[in-house]
Amino acid sequence: MSYAQIVSGFSFNFGVRFPIFSSVMSLFSFAISTSSRSRRWPITYHDQLLGYTIVPLVVFALLLALYKYLGKVDKIKHEFRYQVFNSFLLLTFLVLPTTSTKILNTFSCDWLDDGTRVLKSDMSIDCDSSKHKVFQVYAGAMIFVYPFGIPAMHFYLLYWYKAKGLLDRGQDKLVNTKMVKLVGF
């Protein structure tokens, strides 16, 4: 799924043409964008950017707070606590491609014939406006949270678990797989 999300964005961002797969994904994206326009208030690209970046952070914070709270409660089984943390990791993995694409598209502008620069994702937004400049600064900050921060966090956690010798626990079925040998765990 993540692969499909990333590859479908290439044709839009870089002007690369893909076969039928890209057409199907663009039709799906068009259906989502037109459904958001049928509301009483228009949802702009800036609104979507805020939603794509803030909502996951709130969910992540709630999951981590629950994880910390469950660590203080002795009556709760540790298995549930680990499931909460695994849910956190899974959600960060699933949110990463779409949120990163949304963030990076904030910087993707195109020139019109009259000399104005507009956002490729929302042609009603002038890239030279002060409002869009503020959102570009916001998106620049979010680059350190999503496209760089989440992979760095996953790398750190894997490195930490490997250094503590905790990766072998519960991984008996994966020890001899080609992928584990390739990665070197």
User: Please, which pLDDT band fits residue 159 given cuts at 50, 70 and 90?
Assistant: confident
| 91 lies in the same domain as 112 | yes
**Segments forming the whole domain that contains residue 104:** 44-147
| 31 lies in the same domain as 111 | no
| 127 lies in the same domain as 101 | yes
Q: What is the pLDDT of residue 64?
A: 92
The pTM of this model reads 0.69
| Least confident span in 14-18, 27-31, 37-41 | 27-31
| 18 lies in the same domain as 53 | no
User: Please, which pLDDT band fits residue 82 given cuts at 50, 70 and 90?
Assistant: confident
| 25 lies in the same domain as 78 | no
| 5 lies in the same domain as 59 | no
Q: Residue 154 domain-assigned?
A: no
Nearest to 62 by CA among 35, 96, 85: 85
- Tell whether the model's pLDDT for residue 183 goes beyond 90: no
Q: Residue 152 domain-assigned?
A: no
Percentage of the chain modeled with pLDDT above 70: 66
- Tell whether the model's pLDDT for residue 6 goes beyond 70: no
Higher pLDDT, residue 79 or 145: 145
| 21 lies in the same domain as 51 | no
| 58 lies in the same domain as 121 | yes
Report yes or no: 96 and 89 within 8 Å, Cβ to Cβ: no
3-class SS shares of the chain: helix, strand, coil, % to 5: 70, 5, 30
Nearest to 101 by CA among 53, 141, 30, 31: 53
- Tell whether the model's pLDDT for residue 111 goes beyond 80: yes
Q: What is the pLDDT of residue 78?
A: 76
| 25 lies in the same domain as 113 | no
| 94 lies in the same domain as 142 | yes
Residue 128: enclosing H or E segment and its boundaries? none
Separation between Cα atoms, residue 167 and residue 161, nearest integer Å: 6
Q: Residue 157 domain-assigned?
A: no
Q: Residue 161 domain-assigned?
A: no
Higher pLDDT, residue 166 or 140: 140
Burial letters for 40-76: b for 16+ Cβ neighbours within 10 Å, e otherwise?
A: eeeebbbebbeebbeebeeebeebeebbeebeeeeee
Q: What is the pLDDT of residue 34?
A: 44
Q: Residue 181 domain-assigned?
A: no
User: Please, which pLDDT band fits residue 13 given cuts at 50, 70 and 90?
Assistant: low
Higher pLDDT, residue 142 or 177: 142
Burial class (CB in 10 A: 0-12, 13-18, 19+), 35: exposed
What's the number of domains the chain is made of?
2
| 103 lies in the same domain as 125 | yes
| 55 lies in the same domain as 7 | no
Q: Residue 184 domain-assigned?
A: no
Q: What is the pLDDT of residue 150?
A: 96
